[in-house]
Structure 1
């Protein structure tokens, strides 16, 4: 179940989405290193405020991509061969990636905890990717993620504030 406060943030993210998409053009003008540094700082700040276990929206709405290493680990947990696990839990998308067959993720518990947390896929471990480098190349995806992850929505708002104050250019 998603925390009421986080649900409100996500509702606001939907309302702000078109404006946030336009904000991409502003962010593209910022030096890449400055943008990465700011995003990384805001990532840490956002996840001090947002508790993923009170949200779980990504697990309920995003179909993760499974790398072969992920499939092998999870198949081992299931005591089966990787091909059996793949057939049961994955589909192939238009990019020929192995993705989760269902949404919500069948491995999310009612308390939003992943029942295979120790072996969760790289896609899930790294989501929402706002602590990486070269974020300028992923601004559209980041804006999409702002509708899924309340932490990303907060980061976008804080970035807007930094740009408006002139502390990020």
Structure 2
């Protein structure tokens, strides 16, 4: 596998969307799933999320009931107050943050609730699990703003 260069990656990702879509549709799922843990780890050696935080700046995770319970307890708030203060229902009926960037994102790109963050945040960018293949639309969208997803997809194409 060749080296993945991260300079100008957003432009390259936009240009490679068709390739990514074909990869996700045609991939040998078992082969790809075996590669993901190592590619995921490798990507994180090249990308520091604290330099980017595009996910936290532009998108919201879903806040599921266990997330809401855990975070509101951590913040010392009643669940209803936490929901009223920070969340809204989206078109899918999921709780998401009212505004972007995420209200818990600090100026230094650190998360103020990192230890108790939503499951979606903990799992993002899904490059070490089957979501990468099972939800290709999400993977394609994520590849446009997350250099980790870009890196993993480029490695899989080179593969």
- Normalising by the smaller structure, the TM-score range is 0.7 to 0.9
Name the residue aligned to 1:112. 109
Are the equivalent residues in 2 in contact too, given 1:21–1:143 (CA < 8 A)?
no
Q: Mark the CA change 1:151 to 1:134 in structure 2 (over 3 Å): closer, same or farther.
A: closer
SS in structure 2 of the partner of residue 99 of structure 1: strand
Name the residue aligned to 1:81. 78
Name the residue aligned to 1:66. 63
Q: Mark the CA change 1:95 to 1:51 in structure 2 (over 3 Å): closer, same or farther.
A: same
Name the residue aligned to 1:150. 147
- Which stretches of structure 1, 4 residues or more, deviate above 6 A after TM superposition? none
Whole-angstrom CA distance in 2 between matches of 1:18 and 1:49: 21
- 1:67-110 CA-to-partner distances (Å, cap 9, x unmatched) read 11111122112222101101111111111111111110011111
Whole-angstrom CA distance in 2 between matches of 1:137 and 1:21: 17
Q: 2, 18, 40: which one pairs with 1:43?
A: 40
Instruction: Please give the TM-score of this superposition, normalised by the length of structure 2.
Output: 0.87
Name the residue aligned to 1:31. 28
Segments of structure 2 that go 5 or more residues without pairing to the other structure are none
Whole-angstrom CA distance in 2 between matches of 1:55 and 1:129: 17
Q: 54, 58, 78: which one pairs with 1:57?
A: 54
Segments of structure 1 that go 5 or more residues without pairing to the other structure are 163-169
Are the equivalent residues in 2 in contact too, given 1:61–1:148 (CA < 8 A)?
no
Q: Mark the CA change 1:23 to 1:52 in structure 2 (over 3 Å): closer, same or farther.
A: closer
- Alignment length (residue pairs): 155
Are the equivalent residues in 2 in contact too, given 1:128–1:145 (CA < 8 A)?
yes
